[in-house]
Amino acid sequence: MTYYNLHTHDLSLSTDRKLSICNLPYKNSFTSPDAYPGVYFSAGIHPWHIASTDPMSLTSQLSRIAESPQLLAIGECGLDKLTDTPIDIQITIFKQQIEIAENSKKPMIIHCVKAFNELIKLRKETAARQEWIIHGFRGKPQLATELIQHGFRISIGHKFNPETARIIPLHRLFLETDDSNIDIETVYRQIAEIRQIPENELIISIGTNFSELFDLSR
Ligand SMILES: [Zn+2]
């Protein structure tokens, strides 16, 4: 049985019993996935980092890295109204990343804070066809339901709204550890408990979701 972790910043996490998508580190440039054989990554420009980096240069690097078989998804990227960068600039950078995801046919791992209306609008406006997964979701059940109706998938970490964790359909759900020290087994245990289902059922469902969205053959 494999524990699948949709999103972590801990590069040491890929072992036999766990399969993790690690967020590829960057500052002025992205670290090369080649430096970490056998590790799966996602790469993207986080809205928090737009002001302190050169997003133009990073997006052009990103379109090259996107072709790597080790790169399973574009992100985390997205929109955050609690950060200083104006939302229209965030949208511009996010749209460039949507285009990269569409061209490379890879799903997106999305960070979204207080900008869900804008996000839903962008999904429609860009007619994006790749899957979009909201990571670290802590919102209320009503918002989760609305997002699911618009075709989004949702990933939950160790901090979540219990009612939301109960109602997300299993085939739309992912689990993650993000930047916490909690291990992924604990997150699985918490969610299985709250949904009152055997942990094995959760492991199998999330595994199926993973193989549906990501090419893990290489
Ligand atoms: Zn993260």
- What's the gap in Å between 178 CA and the centre of ligand 1? 5
Name the pLDDT band for 218 (thresholds 50, 70, 90). low
Question: Per-residue pLDDT averaged across 90-102, rounded?
Answer: 98
**Does 133 score more than 90 pLDDT?**
yes
118 carries a ligand binding annotation: no
Q: What is the CATH number of the domain that holds 91?
A: 3.20.20.140
The answer to whether 215 is a known ligand-binding residue is no
Q: Which domain holds residue 60?
A: 3-213
Give me ligand 1 centre to Cα 76, in Å. Answer: 6
Q: Residue 13: pLDDT above 70?
A: no
One-letter amino acid for residue 135 of the chain: H
7 assigned to a ligand binding site:
no
Does the pLDDT at position 23 exceed 70? yes
Domain count, the chain: 1
Q: Alpha helix (H) ranges present in 10-81?
A: 55-65
93 CA → ligand 1 middle, Å = 18
Render 24-71 in DSSP notation, one character per residue: PPBSSSBPPGGGSTT-EEEE---GGGTTTS-HHHHHHHHHHHTT-TTE
What confidence score (pLDDT) does residue 196 get?
98
| Residue whose tokens read 């080649």 | 34
Neighbours of 79 (CB within 10 A): 23
44 assigned to some structural domain = yes
Q: Is residue 218 part of a domain?
A: no
* Distances 76 to 22, 109, 119 between C-alpha atoms, Å: 10, 5, 14
| Ligand 1 (single-atom ion) residues, CB below 5 Å | 178
pLDDT of 173 higher than 70: yes
Query: Is 9 annotated as a binding-site member?
Result: no
Instruction: Give the H/E segment covering residue 155.
Output: strand 153-156
CA of 27 to the centre of ligand 1 (A): 15
User: What pLDDT does 80 receive?
Assistant: 98
The pLDDT tens digits for 43-84 are: 999 999 999 999 999 999 999 999 999 999 999 999 999 999
Q: Tell whether 58 is covered by a domain.
A: yes
> CA separation (Å) from 32 to 26, 76, 100?
9, 17, 17
